[in-house]
Homo-oligomer: A and B are copies of this chain.
Amino acid sequence: AWKGAPQFSNDEGWSFKPRGRLQVDVAGIDAPNDLSGGVNDRLGTGVELRRAYIGFDGTIPGGFGYRVEADIAGSDVSLTDLYLTYKANRNVTLAVGHQKPFWGLEEMTSDLFTSTMERAAFSQAFGFERRVGASVQYSGKSLLVQGGVFADDASSLNTDTNKSWSVDGRVVFMPKLGGGILHLGASAHLRDLGGSVTSTRYRARPFLHTTDARLVDTGTIGATGERSFGLEAAYIAGPFHATLEGHSMTARRPGLADPTFRGGYAEVGYVLTGDDTGYKNGVYDRLKPSKGLDDGGIGAIQVNLRYDHLDLNDAGIVGGRQQMAGVAMVWAPVDNVRFVANYGHLWLRDAAVTAGGDDSYGVDAMGMRAQFDF
């Protein structure tokens, strides 16, 4: 079978598929001219190999499966999915290794299929990442339950003294409703920094990833742990979808007030070419054109509108607030190729980076991406 690349399999239950992806981004970020800290030099036009994955996945007779994949775009190795799975029965799968700790709808959706080039600001600000752990998942027809115990990301675990750990869980109810699918989900996360890690930091880039500058940023704050909660709601009906997602993150600071930061977004999208919005098992999935360039068609075109909000102010900590209103156009000329163009206007308040001494200002960000995967 072909799934972007050949998938090999035999009757005994063996299967194997190479995996890869490439995302090439170009962007322009237009901010006021007199940003503090020389940040203007880091905005403007930017070009980036956003992601370049290479890996394998497969199945092993007896119910086992695996994935080994890494991102090499940064001219180094950034580990992504590396795990061994065991399918205990039709609905229950165990996994051990480097995997996502179930932080919510958009974080669990592959970066190949997000509505804009980058995920919501809170996803980045609250440090969502893969971590080494053990998890169990129940996946039913309209119910998904995921939970696990995690240490830290693989790279941080290279430090012997890192003893941080967390318990993470997510529940999604996804019944059919009026010709579409209703998606309702919640997740909870408790993390102990383990003693040797004694601080945390929350910050987000301005809409795009070509810069490493963050205009909102709590700076490093002493902490012993974190707890966070997420809520997800979506409705998907053929070419239409709407999503509402929010997450709150509380830093545990013994002897001090525990600040709670919040972020969320609201989004509607429509596939102009009439193709179905991709959705499967509690996450958004691939936009597949019914008539691609290879069939003499034009592919699938989706337009998404999004409002995004991140508030890093609480309990005496002033990290700033960032709002974004934007539009994205996604074009999938064929199944495994995708071009994205998106524009966002940002409103900054109490920003960590000031413009001529003013902590309130606006920023425009326009980005384009070329992508393939297999």
Contact = CB atoms under 8 A, between A and B. Distances in A.
Given A18-B18, A79-B52, A64 B334 contact: yes
B157 A47 contact: yes
Given A2-B10, A49-B79, A52-B79, A61 B374 contact: no
A231 B166 CA distance: 47
Interface in A1-16: 2, 4-6, 8, 10, 12-14, 16
B82 A22 contact: yes
A47 to B, nearest CB: 4
B72 A24 contact: no
Contacts of A335: 60
A334 B97 contact: no
Interface string A70-90: 101111111100111000000
Oligomeric state, in number of copies?
3
Interface in A113-138: 132-133
A293 B62 contact: yes
Given A20-B56, A24-B97, A292 B163 contact: no
Interface in A33-53: 41-42, 44-49, 52-53
A334 B24 contact: no
Nearest to A78: B75
Contact of A5 (B58, B79, B132, B133): B58
14 contacts: A5-B58, A18-B56, A22-B66, A24-B83, A42-B160, A47-B157, A49-B154, A52-B79, A54-B68, A60-B334, A61-B292, A63-B294, A73-B154, A84-B337
